[in-house]
Structure 1
């Protein structure tokens, strides 16, 4: 199992395109990267290609190249009305079945995103706020038993960056629960997503090192010494163009911005990173062994 994961995200469309996958695999082999986080279907049907056998063949080639493969499963976004009920045990079982199929097809790990209730501007739930965190914890316990322990393979969970600073009752996320029940906790402390003034920074997107180091250190400091902690910390990083200004506007994220986040992750004691770009387009210089030069 890869301990220090250095990954980029591959969306579903890119994963099904042979040319794009060849380019992404080549990017991994030319840089410090060693892993790919790849979307798979989460609502039944074939995992990636029309037949799981085709997915297994594709993954086999990537594994032979020494690439660690993480299946990204979207847990509760989607479904009727745009959001599955996080308390639905039928949905839990569907997710477990998809996860086990992904591991059988050749993935090394399963990563779970949208393991929460809807946030602002997302579908609302009738579940009382006080019941949401316990429900999400019960789902985590289910995944630990039915996927992680049953398959003896790593599982990881994505959480909001703000959850590093304290429990988020509305969405039901507590970093303490994730740290106890997953092998990796993967917060999303994207600099652009912090409000202006966060950590004393007028525009956090312009200070990628300071933003990530402050948020990761604060969050992990609360849970690192918990007796029941199982997980290592592995962070998502921003590889897309967005500013912290309100309203948000485009702000170019260069290889320097990405490298600064990687430096913060290393200094915060993380077990690696995964870079997020929704289009799965990445600049090679961001992942070169040598430091990128800060733009003038």
Structure 2
């Protein structure tokens, strides 16, 4: 039976997310010299229900029966304003053992209403979490911010999310856990504009105090923008077969653990969860892997709430652990990885794996069954929740898998966490 909570959330979604212009809710603006419809819309975007600037331009044009080309000085325009102040979302605090089940959203999807379409469908099948790109490997933030200008001298950059406050607030209205993914050491923008920060090619030197302060500033800002969790990715050195840091007596794992401690102090002060995407291979605890990438589970675990090991079967090399093609063993590598990690962290840190939602190297049939096997492995091996990764946000197979599991759960045929909350 549908709960009151679900009904209310659905109504809010329809009003604020799926539709754009509430009837008879507007203010009046008089056109001045130099105005364009785009410039006018930009000044009001935060006060309207429109999610993108283009939506608001179209809404204003439709309401006033005009086109962007036929503005005239002194003309009065009705603007669909619905609030007196821009949205200021607040983080929703959760315990670290919250069973997050969700999908990754890149900034280009997050910048359109497709994010809400995917989120709504996922939510209907028991999903409860969206991980969106706040900063990807290209280095530019997905939203407008003064932080890059202050730290790397880049004040203008392309960004897909025009109103991050609406993104966070609308996802909260859908009763979803909102996670901001921040790529740290791999940063094309900063490495090209700040040469003395560069480690090699597109990688920053994580031991550089300025690099650390830049990352802290980004995360400080995100904490004030209402996200519920910060997820660190590329929080490591490149796989360059070296182990040096440029600092005598300090290993790469020392550098990363100390940096992580600073970040955890910041997120903890805001009551926000901190998670880390962990390079899957380091869970097997080979010293050469740990000291190359700098991710040492034992050193890092005191400064983490959640570890999300990237246990994509396709990313294990041929014949790893005697398996000819690991990509064809979706249960095995997820299960083994979680169990190995569990022996290292015990109950101190929550394990929430990234699962493969793309067909790379799979030869035995990629589809909903492949996804379900990974979910089953996660749930049977000690994980608390899971996340699905598709770089291009192609989730048809994953959502079908979630739907099938959800239907079995509701019919009593499967013990699974796929329930609507």
For residues 103 and 130 of structure 1, what CA distance do their matches in structure 2 show? 30
Match of 1:37, SS? strand
Are 1:287 and 2:394 matched, yes or no?
A: no
What's the TM-score, normalizing by structure 2?
0.61
Larger Rg: 2
Please state how far the C-alpha of 1:42 moved relative to its aligned partner: 6.7
- CA deviation profile, 1:109-137 (whole Å, cap 9, x unmatched): 0000001001149x997647961110011
Aligned pairs for 1:199-214 (under 5 A) are 199-214=321-336
Could you tell me which residue of structure 1 aligns to residue 374 of structure 2?
261
Match of 1:40, SS? strand
What's the TM-score, normalizing by structure 1?
0.86
- CA deviation profile, 1:66-117 (whole Å, cap 9, x unmatched): 0110000001101323111110121212212211221221210000000100
268-277 vs 215-224, greater mean Cα deviation: 215-224
Could you tell me which residue of structure 2 aligns to residue 294 of structure 1?
none
Asked if structure 1 preserves the Cα contact closer than 8 Å seen for 2:120 and 2:174, the reply is no
Please state how far the C-alpha of 1:156 moved relative to its aligned partner: 0.4
- CA deviation profile, 1:150-181 (whole Å, cap 9, x unmatched): 21210001111111111511011111223221
For residues 42 and 197 of structure 1, what CA distance do their matches in structure 2 show? 31
For residues 217 and 133 of structure 1, what CA distance do their matches in structure 2 show? 22
Match for residue 186 of structure 2 among 69, 74, 77:
77
Could you tell me which residue of structure 1 aligns to residue 90 of structure 2?
none
Could you tell me which residue of structure 2 aligns to residue 63 of structure 1?
172
Asked if structure 1 preserves the Cα contact closer than 8 Å seen for 2:243 and 2:292, the reply is no
Could you tell me which residue of structure 2 aligns to residue 143 of structure 1?
263
Asked if structure 2 preserves the Cα contact closer than 8 Å seen for 1:38 and 1:70, the reply is yes
For residues 15 and 114 of structure 1, what CA distance do their matches in structure 2 show? 20
For residues 364 and 217 of structure 2, what CA distance do their matches in structure 1 show? 40
Alignment length, in residue pairs?
A: 280
- List gaps (5 residues or longer) in structure 2: 1-93, 146-160, 192-200, 409-421
Match for residue 155 of structure 1 among 274, 277, 288:
274
- CA deviation profile, 1:13-48 (whole Å, cap 9, x unmatched): 111122x112212222221211000001379x9953
RMSD: 2.8
Match for residue 13 of structure 1 among 108, 129, 147:
108
Please state how far the C-alpha of 1:257 moved relative to its aligned partner: 0.8
For residues 222 and 250 of structure 2, what CA distance do their matches in structure 1 show? 33
Please state how far the C-alpha of 1:188 moved relative to its aligned partner: 0.5
Q: Which has the higher relative contact order, 1 or 2, with Cα contacts under 8 A spaced 6 or more apart?
A: 1
For residues 125 and 254 of structure 1, what CA distance do their matches in structure 2 show? 42
For residues 100 and 169 of structure 1, what CA distance do their matches in structure 2 show? 29
Match of 2:360, SS? coil
Could you tell me which residue of structure 2 aligns to residue 247 of structure 1?
none
For residues 283 and 407 of structure 2, what CA distance do their matches in structure 1 show? 30
For residues 138 and 50 of structure 1, what CA distance do their matches in structure 2 show? 29
Match of 1:162, SS? helix
Aligned pairs for 1:181-260 (under 5 A) are 181-224=303-346, 229=348, 231-243=349-361, 253-260=366-373
For residues 186 and 335 of structure 2, what CA distance do their matches in structure 1 show? 29
For residues 345 and 385 of structure 2, what CA distance do their matches in structure 1 show? 18
Poorly superposed stretches of 4+, deviation over 6 Å: none
Could you tell me which residue of structure 1 aligns to residue 47 of structure 2?
none
